[in-house]
């Protein structure tokens, strides 16, 4: 039931104790009762539990210093999934450097993850970047034309200068540390990198460490239906 998005594991135990869960028409009272989701009919309060896992997608504001993985270790510290108390197996659709912050999308929907991460879909990722030194107009022009990196050329879709040594940049690629490496090539250094948008999903007023479900409109922008 937890894997299908009906309730948490603890709440599931309460439902069983209260006699509200049945398997193939028979009320279940035993904890840990085994079922075959492809054959058995599980109901809660007379309503059938779906045989497939409920598609879930959330927007998460990753704090700086948190790793973009599903597990933690003593060496690496906190991971993004440590902030999300949901009974689903979610994984990041794309990553964000440990020393960067901002918007991430986590999901159990493989089609959504593919549409966010695969280059052929050209999904925009927008960042606000704090640089060590102000970006000159000459350097800006160079970046706008595209530059060569060790793993191939990169040309941002848009880049613009902001006050206080900051720039805004939009790219459609997701290569490792690609934004930081772009500025290294022109002799500058990224002090802080913050992602504010992925496709049509914006971080908005989501506070650091907080998350929210993607809306139907946001899912539709990736051509994903919340209830396929």
- Which residue, among 156, 218, 202, 214, has the nearest Cα to 183 in the 3D structure? 156
Q: Which tokens is 154 given?
A: 């990169």
* Catalytic status, residue 45: no
Q: Is 54 exposed, middle or buried (0-12, 13-18, 19+ CB in 10 A)?
A: middle
- Scan for tokens 């970006």, then name that residue: 135
What is the Cα–Cα distance from 195 to 170, expressed in whole angstroms?
Answer: 10
Secondary structure of residue 119 in the 3-state scheme: helix
Catalytic position from the list 40, 45, 85, 97: 97
CA atoms within 13 A on the CB side of 136: 6
3-state class (DSSP) for residue 116: helix
Give the C-alpha separation, 12 to 21, whole Å. Answer: 9
CA distances from 196 to 68, 106, 168 (A): 16, 15, 10
What is the SS3 assignment for 214? coil
Query: What residues act catalytically?
Result: 97
């Amino acid at each position: 039931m937890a894997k299908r998005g009906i309730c948490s594991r603890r709440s599931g135990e309460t439902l069983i104790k209260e006699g509200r869960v049945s398997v193939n028409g028979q009320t279940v009272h035993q904890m840990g009762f085994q079922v075959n989701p492809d054959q058995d009919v599980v109901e809660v309060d007379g309503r059938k539990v779906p045989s497939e896992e409920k598609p879930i997608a959330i927007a998460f504001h990753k704090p700086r210093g948190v790793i973009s993985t599903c597990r933690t270790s003593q060496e690496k510290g906190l991971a993004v999934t440590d902030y999300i108390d949901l009974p689903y197996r979610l994984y990041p659709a794309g990553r964000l450097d440990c020393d960067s912050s901002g918007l991430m999308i986590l999901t159990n929907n493989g089609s959504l993850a593919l549409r966010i991460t695969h280059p052929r879909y050209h999904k925009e990722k927008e960042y606000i970047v704090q640089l060590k030194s102000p970006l000159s107009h000459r350097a800006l022009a160079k970046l706008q034309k595209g530059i060569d990196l060790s793993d191939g050329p990169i040309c941002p879709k848009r880049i613009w200068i902001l006050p206080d040594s900051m720039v805004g940049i939009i790219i459609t690629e997701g290569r490792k540390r690609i934004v930081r490496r772009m500025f290294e090539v022109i002799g500058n250094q990224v002090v802080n990198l913050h992602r504010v948008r992925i496709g049509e999903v914006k971080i908005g007023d989501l506070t650091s460490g907080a998350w929210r479900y993607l809306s139907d409109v946001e899912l539709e922008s990736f051509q994903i239906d919340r209830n396929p």
